[in-house]
Structure 1
């Protein structure tokens, strides 16, 4: 913890993504246009949240907001939340008709049982293991019974320090790779029912994991 009581990984994540906000947004802004698999994942997530009664969905760690905006185009009441004020400013500039706010996944402002869904798209990768477990508990608290959670992350069993990022700019964040089995166990321990687990590009150097779960 620093003197403000903020954990170091939260502070370093916020500061790093403030630094790279513009270059990162320029790099990923057209990602969904080129990736039908991710579009399909978001479509299923949106449909399940709607079938559970609809309502507000949070895109936690929304970055420049392109996933939040896509959910909004699918008819979802989507709100983007990110640690980085720079990312939120860029998201608001690019997607003026969608609501974004600065906030932490470790302490969501949503009330107990009020959300229809939470999207955590590569937003858990910088958090240490104990903090991920706590964050999943926070997700469970904020989701209503039947609410949907979609998580994406890098699959593996190592931690790498990222010191340079998008556009060659300085960063200082740990990137945690975790197994599909570990993430499944953590979600079940938090009280979620698993609906679907996917290992994308299993022979790649860094496979990609997807987990879809429902709050009991």
Structure 2
């Protein structure tokens, strides 16, 4: 527990230190990413189809993706570890709700959510802890709820730590990440791999998954 707490504190402190710079960098990033927008739109459509449940962006940062989910017709709010990023999110999107919190302990009852978005936020989770995050995502999602994860893909190699500009992060092989999710009652709906743009270093991975009902008896 102490190690996990230390990692979370280090991540929050790192983003607090560069909050405004980071917010300025990512605020309009979706404008040039049609494939990324497409997978998020599919996620939103599937969530809306299942009914009017709230959606959480876990690791919302400065809130631009939470706002995008709102614009896609979802009852979305964001949680993040960084108080400084949350201050920016609340200033930039005053009509939306943003709360201090961690992805591994989301403050909602079991089965409350219709959807959960982790958009390049689980990249900072140490690999041994990732199964616990999927377990928490399963807990908070209703049966039939959808999970979308955006991450840096390892190009088929093993999980690899890399020098993220803010704080250490990890690249995952998409099959391994899907397998971990499958152990927590998630079934893959679809995936999208995108090659890096000229100013990007790594291939981008996106996994869209649906939570199944627990099997009993």
Return the TM-score normalized by structure 1. 0.90
Matched ranges for 1:176-191 at <5 A: 176-191=170-185
State the alpha-carbon separation in 2 of the partners of residues 87 and 205 from structure 1.
24
Q: Which has the higher strand share?
A: 1
State the alpha-carbon separation in 1 of the partners of residues 149 and 72 from structure 2.
19
Deviations 1:15-47 (A, max 9, x none): 000111100001111112222222212211111
- Equivalent residue in structure 1 for 2:64, among 28, 41, 66: 66
Matched ranges for 1:54-133 at <5 A: 54-133=52-131
Cα deviation, residue 6, structure 1: 5.2
State the alpha-carbon separation in 1 of the partners of residues 70 and 13 from structure 2.
28
State the alpha-carbon separation in 1 of the partners of residues 9 and 72 from structure 2.
33
Matched ranges for 1:151-190 at <5 A: 151-156=149-154, 157=158, 158-162=160-164, 165=165, 171=166, 173-190=167-184
Deviations 1:174-203 (A, max 9, x none): 211110111110010111011002211179
Query: May I ask how many residue pairs the two structures share in their alignment?
Result: 206
- Listed as ranges, the gaps of 5+ residues in structure 1 are 166-170
Cα deviation, residue 205, structure 1: 4.7
Structure ranking higher on relative contact order (CA contacts 8 Å, 6+ apart): 1
Aligned residues of 2:39 and 2:192 also touching (Cα < 8 A): no
Say which SS state the counterpart of residue 143 (structure 2) adopts: strand
Cα deviation, residue 160, structure 1: 2.2
State the alpha-carbon separation in 1 of the partners of residues 32 and 203 from structure 2.
18
State the alpha-carbon separation in 2 of the partners of residues 142 and 97 from structure 1.
24
State the alpha-carbon separation in 2 of the partners of residues 121 and 207 from structure 1.
15
- Listed as ranges, the gaps of 5+ residues in structure 2 are 213-217
State the alpha-carbon separation in 1 of the partners of residues 144 and 52 from structure 2.
10
State the alpha-carbon separation in 1 of the partners of residues 117 and 93 from structure 2.
18
Deviations 1:113-159 (A, max 9, x none): 01000000111111111211101100000000000000010011311
Cα deviation, residue 7, structure 1: 2.2
- Equivalent residue in structure 2 for 1:209, among 180, 205, 211: 205
